[in-house]
Structure 1
């Protein structure tokens, strides 16, 4: 299908290869992520969710298999090409916000755009628009330490979407929040995903949140299986 934004085919990954402690995390994982859908990735701790997300987002390389993002096959691309593709087409959100502490919320969202060649005026306008949509615009000039946990994570979402990626990868994005804040932050994330029309692969232990996505996949035995 021509609306596939992320395709993983036969991914394998082994750590400590050739040693007594060898661990085969991925054993032929396949995935097609389509434009506009949000997919939950569920698995117990240590099953390889983070490894899968890092490979999908070009932060790590598989031992075998292929990754294709927005129609571009990544295999044999150099570091510069991989970085450019990741910066343009992939957004990341982690359990912890990882915002730059010396910069304001607005600046944290503006900086990735400047690095991508966007003018300062346009970058600030995009940043303010995103902050407004998640209800944090009044806090735009505050540094991360002055924001609540929920506000910090909403700013992190905005930063991930600053460059208008095709694919959003999120690793337990609400895992560090209390249940009420988690629900509010997740609603903000899903609203951004729907409004921007991008695809999202979201790893979570929270099955209630997973049930609110378009479909669920379980990483089990190194492969991805649908969850009914």
Structure 2
């Protein structure tokens, strides 16, 4: 049996430690995501979704608890090793695309591959394949300013998957789009995820989008509980 792609065990995280005003955003949060599974993370703004995603993606450190990616305990690793795992095994998508404005859509997807040691021809071929999967290959030569909001976010999706990660973490990936565009772009994201077979944890406050994933978990009082959204 394959190891879970992501395991979170008893994560706690607070701010203003030891002070009367301390806020504990995570309080024993636990979650396991199987290979190929797409899980919705549902919670209102300010509940700790971003904090949980940052800890899961090794951008932040929990006060207590464990994180495993692909069966490897990554909790106490050095910064260098955490950076390597984050670059190779984790893809991030945010509400805003954060594309490099001076580069084309294609180049935005090629660059992280080159930084990871890919050849130019291989990186270009993968970038074009990803853009084709989300339906905007004809826009490959355009810079972000010449793309619509939905197109920009699709490029961001492709960039997140450029280095073939094991795990995709997305924080309100369609939250900056109008409802109609959001629906189309989410379809593109799910098609990309399913075609590559990776696992994903996607934060959203949209219960309709959550219901289209394999299952949903809700962040309540710092803990993760199964949601009835699915």
Give the TM-score range, shorter chain: over 0.9
Structure 2 partner of 1:121 = 121
Uncovered stretches (5+) of structure 2, i.e. residues with no partner: none
Q: Distance in 2 between matches of 1:202 and 1:139?
A: 26
The answer on 1:213 being equivalent to 2:200 is: no
TM-score (norm. length: structure 1): 0.98
Q: Distance in 1 between matches of 2:189 and 2:61?
A: 27
Q: Distance in 2 between matches of 1:84 and 1:43?
A: 30
Structure 2 partner of 1:81 = 81
Uncovered stretches (5+) of structure 1, i.e. residues with no partner: none
Q: Distance in 2 between matches of 1:3 and 1:79?
A: 24
Structure 1 partner of 2:109 = 109
Structure 2 partner of 1:25 = 25
TM-score (norm. length: structure 2): 0.97
Q: CA-to-partner distance for each residue in 1:180-222, whole Å, 9 max, x for gaps? A: 1001000000001111000010000111000010001000000
Question: How far is 1:76 from its partner?
Answer: 2.0
The answer on 1:222 being equivalent to 2:222 is: yes
Q: Distance in 1 between matches of 2:56 and 2:93?
A: 13
Structure 1 partner of 2:9 = 9
Q: CA-to-partner distance for each residue in 1:125-165, whole Å, 9 max, x for gaps? A: 00000001111111111111110000000000000000000
- Which 4+ residue blocks in structure 1 deviate beyond 3 angstroms? none
Q: Indicate the larger mover: 14-23 or 30-39.
A: 14-23
Structure 1 partner of 2:156 = 156
Question: How far is 1:2 from its partner?
Answer: 2.4
Structure 2 partner of 1:66 = 66
- The count of aligned residue pairs is 228
